[in-house]
A = this chain, B = another copy of it.
Amino acid sequence: MAVRGAVPEVIWARPERTGRGPKPAYTRDDIAAAAVRIADAEGLDAVSMRRVAAELGCGTMSLYNYVPRKEDLYELMVDAAGGEHAPWEPSGDWRADMRRVARQTRELMHRHPWLPRLMSPVYGFSPNALRYLEHCLACLDPLEERYGTKLELIAMLNGMVTTYVRNELDTAERVRALPWSEDEENAARIAYLGSRIATGAYPRMAAAFTEDAGPIDLEAVFERAVERVIDAFAPR
């Protein structure tokens, strides 16, 4: 007589349908789509078991027949988002393909701003993650390196893109819960930063901020970072 849930299980190993009993009212995709819809519209914090169940139109506890823990719901969401990755026939130019991968991932994360926060290596085995990984490896066929190196390249590129987009979106996502706007939050922080720098305690930072007062070109910074990661693995 095992204690309920005492055995570790991967949600993907669970069959969606077992022979007996009435057939489930929802598919895993239905549930993931509902959760993604809520997160896109109202932010990740709005995704609760109750809210997702309501979105589906079923009782809260019925959800637990499909998703044993909330953590697994997150895993479904990440996989669903990963399903939007559209693979293509590798071009033979692995550099160009990697650039395209990076840009596609960034766009995906802009479409689903909660995604960077949920990204975890733990979710790396989901069906769409595997599909994505295999596609990246296919793109890297022309790169004459060991698979270990290729995996390191993919991990580093992914990590960099995730970190980068997180920096782009984090304030916007976190400010949802606050009674003031993102601009006000930023203004308050910049003002404080200015007052600190004015003390003269940080001469190099002061120089950095006076060097170029113009607005930062996020697009260009991103492209540069991608190029650097690529070059780091195969200098020209």
Q: Which residues of A are at the interface with B, using a C-beta cutoff of 8 A? A: 3, 5-10, 12-13, 71, 120-122, 125, 127, 130, 133-134, 137-138, 141, 146-148, 150-152, 155-156, 159-160, 162-164, 166-167, 170-171, 174, 178-180, 184-185, 187-189, 192-193, 195-196, 201-205, 207-208, 211-212, 221, 224-225, 228-229, 231-233, 235
Contacts and interface: CB of A to CB of B under 8 A. Distances in A.
Q: How many copies does the complex hold?
A: 2
Contact of A71 (B134, B163, B174): B174
A193 B124 CA distance: 10
Given A12-B192, A162-B163, A204-B138, A221 B7 contact: no
A208 B150 contact: yes
**Most chain B beta carbons < 10 A, residue from A120, A121, A160, A163:** A163
A163 B185 CA distance: 26
Q: Give the secondary structure class of A's interface.
A: helix
A10 B192 contact: yes
Contact of A180 (B8, B166, B184, B195): B8
